[in-house]
Amino acid sequence: MSGEWVIGVIGGSGLYTLPGLEDAQWIAVRSPFGTPSDEILCGRLGEVQVRFLPRHGRGHRLPPHAIDARANVDALKRAGCTDILAIAAVGSLSDALPPGRFVAVDQFIDATRGRDASFFGAGFVAHVGFAEPTCPRLTAMAAAAVRESGGEVTASGTYVAIEGPALSTRAESRLYAQWGGDVVGMTALPEAKLAREAELPYALLAMVSDRDGVAAADIERLVAQMHANAALARTAIARLLAGLPAWREPSPIDRALDDGVITNPDRFDRELVAKLDAVAGRLFAGR
């Protein structure tokens, strides 16, 4: 998809709105896959259209395991997004990633359990490539925006997604580090997988709020760090949006489903196909 950028921003812990948007209004977007976390704040920054969705809802109403990631991604697609920039609070698995540092995530390890991780299923089977789960173009621009905003950022890292809502034990944190994890969080999966299925290039800026599993969590200190991180994230988002090229060149992710659908068209589940009108509607054009 070339032409105009429409950036979907998913706000993590501490980031529940996006000040500074012009012509901003909260709009309810319905999804056949469930209830999104909140209304979507629609507006623009300069010439760039923005769609902001607080992942936990305004006021942080939703715990990680109660977030309907399918509804969220589907709603952002319906709102016209071409790309998604996600923000998430994380714990660090390394002394090299202290609180306050950002990580431009480029790999994931999935340790969640029982979450709805796909838009597809019986009657419409599809498999998308996920070896490189984030968009390199958007990830590089996001990392640069953090640096330009005065923040410290690591340009590559592996995010271990856990079920939550309890924080990790020390033993679990040691295990995740042995797996090759750099940070641990509770919300980026299945969100990133669903974005790929919806053909939306996805980048994740992980904001380190604490050292995972080292000591009993000081919740007051952790929350203070999350809010400081969110302030920097807001500045970085504004810089990213202001610095986008005037013309959006196509991304290979725009056509991630081209070779992914396995089910023969005469075997499609028409009810599921109807639900996929936003996620995969271009595949049905002319049929």
Q: How many CA atoms lie within 13 A of 263 on its CB side?
A: 16
How far is C-alpha 113 from the chain's CA centre? 18
> Which residues of the chain are under the pLDDT cut of 70?
1-2, 213-218, 286-287
Which residues are bridge partners to 83 per DSSP?
7
In whole angstroms, what is the distance from residue 44 CA to residue 185 CA? 29
In whole angstroms, what is the distance from residue 170 CA to residue 186 CA? 16
Does residue 210 carry a catalytic annotation?
yes
Does residue 116 carry a catalytic annotation?
no
What is the reported pLDDT for 286?
A: 53
Catalytic pick from 74, 182, 210, 254?
210
In whole angstroms, what is the distance from residue 157 CA to residue 272 CA? 35
The domain segmentation of the chain, as residue ranges, is 6-280
At the second CATH level, the architecture of 6-280 is: 3-Layer(aba) Sandwich (3.40)
What is the reported pLDDT for 42?
A: 98
Specify the long-range contacts of residues 280-284, CB closer than 8 Å, at least 24 apart: 280/119, 280/126, 280/198, 283/257
Catalytic pick from 38, 182, 212, 254?
212
What is the reported pLDDT for 161?
A: 98
Q: Which residue has the tokens 């080292």?
A: 214
What is the reported pLDDT for 13?
A: 85
For 263, list phi and psi in degrees, rounded to 5: -70, 135
What is the reported pLDDT for 213?
A: 66
